[in-house]
Homo-oligomer: A and B are copies of this chain.
Amino acid sequence: MTKLSFEFISNTLETILKRVGFSDERAQQCARLFIEASRDGVHSHGLNRFSRFIQSIELGVVKVDAKPEFVASFGALERWDGCSGPGNLNAYASMERAIALAKTHGIGCVALRNTNHWMRAGNYGWQAADAGLIGICWTNTLPNLPPWGGTKATLGNNPLVLAVPRANGEHVVLDMAMSQFSFGALENYRRSNEQLPVIGGFDRDGELTRDPVRIEQSGRALPIGYWKGSGLSLLLDMIAALLADGEATYQITPDIVRETRLSQVFIAFAATAQNRDEILNGILSFMKSAAGDSTVRYPGERTIETRRRSIDEGITVDEAIWQDIEALARR
């Protein structure tokens, strides 16, 4: 692990992005979204993904110049086409548009089709909360999660984000996939030779297990809450495909580098109670009063701690990953 400054990383990423065709402004924004994920400790969807993102561009899956195009307006709800553009820029633009709609209509919704992987889901929740709005968004994914009762991955893990703003910037942001553990997380546990803290999937014999290796072998990760997360994943896919008039999980190429034509939903709410922070502080302090075995934390609490450390000490980056990125910059 090495520690690098935001500016240093951004310069390197922007150099690469401009070389593959990004404008100055879009290169800066795209780099920022990658770096903010790593800065906040979400390494799995930050710089770790950058080389694969460049590969997707080179394969023609991600079109660097493409911007979302307006399809239809229904008032406070709009449908847009991502035109195969960079997933993080498309998602950012869509949440910006949902925020603008919410400022006019109290609530605003953008349904986006034909987009690419948005990388860190939570970014677009932080974006809404930084603008002072409540945000909800989700995406479908390639098939990577077996439904409850099934052995084949015919659902996506369809990450869902809910975000609530606080005046001090310490927003409450939940960013959760519908699988109990991502395959990235399973890999980390395997590498450190650890069992999962809770049951995370099935082995090849259909038995529930905490062994990451057995789950990787079977490919049968577990939906959160068993039948409940399986149902939630299904409904999120349906609603995204229907609102966006876009592709559903079953139509998405099951190849991590060629995953494309995703459907996403962005909702913003502009009308909150006057005493917003008082309500939220009341909720948080009551929740934390339950502390027992361990500290009770709210979603986003660790993010703020990690972010502060990154700003003070530099952003933690895996050395091998940084070498790959530097190799791209030197090409």
Contact = CB atoms under 8 A, between A and B. Distances in A.
Interface of A: 72-79, 104-109, 111, 134, 136, 143, 146-155, 162-164, 172, 174, 176, 180, 198-199, 206, 208, 224-226, 228-229, 231-232, 234-239, 241-245, 248-251, 267, 269-274, 276, 279-280, 282-283, 286-299
A228 B224 contact: yes
12 contacts: A76-B76, A152-B289, A180-B226, A198-B199, A198-B226, A237-B283, A241-B273, A242-B273, A242-B276, A243-B272, A248-B279, A249-B283
Nearest to A235: B162
Contacts of A299: 231, 234-235
B176 A290 contact: no
Contacts of A105: 74-77, 105
Contacts of A206: 292-293
A292 to B, nearest CB: 3
Nearest to A250: B286
Contacts of A244: 273
Contacts of A296: 147-150, 154
Nearest to A153: B290
Nearest to A222: B225
Max count, chain B CB within 10 A of own CB: residue among A107, A174, A224: A107
Copies of the protein in its oligomer:
2
A176 B227 CA distance: 10
A274 B287 contact: no
Contacts of A245: 272-274
Nearest to A165: B242
A287 B235 contact: no
B150 A291 contact: yes
A154 B105 CA distance: 34
B241 A283 contact: yes
Contacts of A237: 283
A46 to B, nearest CB: 20
Contacts of A280: 238, 242
B231 A290 contact: no
Contacts of A234: 172, 174, 283, 287, 298-299
Nearest to A276: B242
Contacts of A270: 74, 77
Given A225-B229, A232-B174, A292 B152 contact: yes
Contacts of A293: 149-151, 206
Contacts of A229: 224-225
Nearest to A77: B106
Contacts of A73: 106
Nearest to A272: B242
Given A74-B270, A299-B234, A287 B154 contact: yes
Nearest to A152: B290
Contact of A287 (B155, B208, B226, B279): B155
A147 B238 CA distance: 30
A134 B239 contact: yes
